[in-house]
Structure 1
Amino acid sequence: MSQEIKIITTEDGSHSLYHAGLNETYHSFHGAYRESVHVFMLYGLETWFMRNPGVQPIRIFEVGFGTGLNAWLTLVWAEQNKIPVLYHSIEPFPLEKEIYSQLNYTEVDETIMHYKPYFERLHQAPWNEGAIVSEYFNMKKDITTLEEVQLYPTDVVFFDAFAPSKQPELWTKAMLEKVTESMNSGGIFTTYCAMGQLKRDLKDLGLTVETLPGPPGKKEMTRAVK
């Protein structure tokens, strides 16, 4: 295992990763699983779906494939609801199998444990090309940066980069503009970050910005609608 990355257990029992080089974790130490469900599923995908019934497929863009947790939860949602999802994710530094094969997300909720095989399929899907991972979930993973990626029309953005203090280049107004320009009308941008500058920039770019209750251990988060 890379000495830069260490598996840790967060407060809800689910794993996350600690990146020594950045002195940062991939998820909230108050609960990785709960954070993803709250920020990206509840206030992102499910909100968009409720507001846009019948619109298919749902197109999602994720900044930071990371552990694959958001992608796996989205796949489970797509299969349970029988709603096709086209998922585009970028990750400049993919995890090695030695790491992702030890992550315990598929054990956290026994009601969806039967979707466990798909977690490895997500990670084993080829990079830089499309893959049919399940009946309702098509994915393209790119080994690239936000600066370099070519974006497609998007309904929901999971902005899950490392914190602005760790990766400020991803949170600039120029990068936010690139992402929001790709969003369809009514599209949702959701992130765990509640920084004032982020919200001001999103407003300047013409989005309607909401400050929402954060996941456990975090007071606030941000959602913006185009």
Structure 2
Amino acid sequence: MKREVVITADGSSTIHLPDWDEQYHSKHGAIQEAYHVFIKHGLHHFCHSEMNLLSDVTSSSVEKSHNLLNDDDISILEIGFGTGLNTFITLLEAEKLNINIDYFGVEAYPISIDEIEQLNYPKQLQAEKNEALFNKLHQMSWGEKHAITSHLSLTKQKKFFNEIDDTDKFNLVYFDAFGARVQPELWTESIFQKMYNALKTGGVLVTYSAKGSVRRAMQAVGFTVERLPGPPGKREMLRAVK
């Protein structure tokens, strides 16, 4: 299928699929969408929730909650590794928050070297000094765990989403599959059952989608689901908790 790199409304790039009229990231702003959906309402929300859960009125328990987020890995599963944008931003956030992240990216059709070289994320994020790290995300071999920085390790898995069979493994799922309009089979109860199984109790799934059928599929497998304000160009998004 033909793919072409295009510029979105916030100046960041994405990959467009003309045959489907579909993009890897929002045409209203790839970086804006990633931060809003996966960082603000995913990673930051989870870290904040963990701090609240473990905190008490005593300073010792506050210290305990701080240590948990620094000493224990937060495990993240990304459904659709794609351009590596969500992984790269998570890497930058891990450094800022001083947390350790064990990141798993699943992708059936990796993008090409030529496409990677056209993506402008390090520049748009004012993180040119980390451009080598962005390239490293794509250069690392598939199926093996790699330490990208002292705060983030990455395991890329080249497989279809319906082949995921993990149980009680992840704290967070970034569900960034192509939209239900073009790939409805990725937004079914059977797929969300796999996501539910893969998450630990209290785990969180976030996605840009807010379709009623998607919300009902999540609820049918046991998730507690809430609608949240969406990123630019979308009225709402969904966050689900196990």
What are the superposed Cα offsets for residues 3-29 of structure 1, whole Å, 9 maximum, x if unpaired?
Answer: 711011000000011113333111111
1:225 deviates by 1.1
Match of 2:228 among 205, 212, 216: 212
Counterpart check, 1:186 vs 2:202: yes
CA distance in 1: counterparts of 2:206 and 2:176, whole angstroms: 9
User: Aligned AA for 1:58?
Assistant: I
Structure 2: which 5+ residue stretches go unaligned?
Answer: 52-67
* Aligned position for 1:127: 142
Is the 8 Å Cα contact of residues 101 and 152 (structure 2) preserved in structure 1? yes
User: Aligned AA for 1:142?
Assistant: Q
1:99 deviates by 0.6
* Aligned position for 1:164: 180
Which structure shows the bigger proportion of residues in helix conformation? Answer: 2
CA distance in 1: counterparts of 2:183 and 2:80, whole angstroms: 12
Asked which structure has the greater CA Rg, the reply is 2
What are the superposed Cα offsets for residues 113-143 of structure 1, whole Å, 9 maximum, x if unpaired?
Answer: 3222210010001111111111111111011
1:202 deviates by 1.4
* Aligned position for 2:124: 108
User: Aligned AA for 2:162?
Assistant: E
CA distance in 1: counterparts of 2:207 and 2:181, whole angstroms: 15
Is the 8 Å Cα contact of residues 165 and 198 (structure 2) preserved in structure 1? no
CA distance in 1: counterparts of 2:112 and 2:182, whole angstroms: 22
What are the superposed Cα offsets for residues 38-75 of structure 1, whole Å, 9 maximum, x if unpaired?
Answer: 00000001100111132421000010001000000011
Match of 1:148 among 150, 156, 163: 163
Report SS of the residue matched to 1:59.
strand
CA distance in 2: counterparts of 1:193 and 1:34, whole angstroms: 15
Report SS of the residue matched to 2:156.
strand
Counterpart check, 1:49 vs 2:47: yes
Corresponding pairs, count = 223
What is the percentage of aligned positions where both structures have the same residue? 37
- Structure 1 runs (4+) deviating above 3 angstroms are none
* Aligned position for 1:117: 132
* Aligned position for 1:5: 3
Structure 1: which 5+ residue stretches go unaligned?
Answer: none
Report SS of the residue matched to 2:159.
coil
1:182 deviates by 1.2
Counterpart check, 1:136 vs 2:151: yes
Q: How does 1:65-84 map to 2 (within 5 A)?
A: 65-84=81-100
Q: How does 1:22-61 map to 2 (within 5 A)?
A: 22-53=20-51, 54-55=68-69, 56-61=72-77
* Aligned position for 2:241: 225
RMSD: 1.3
| Bigger Cα displacement from structure 2, 34-43 vs 146-155 | 146-155
Is the 8 Å Cα contact of residues 196 and 222 (structure 2) preserved in structure 1? no
Q: TM-score, normalised by structure 1?
A: 0.95
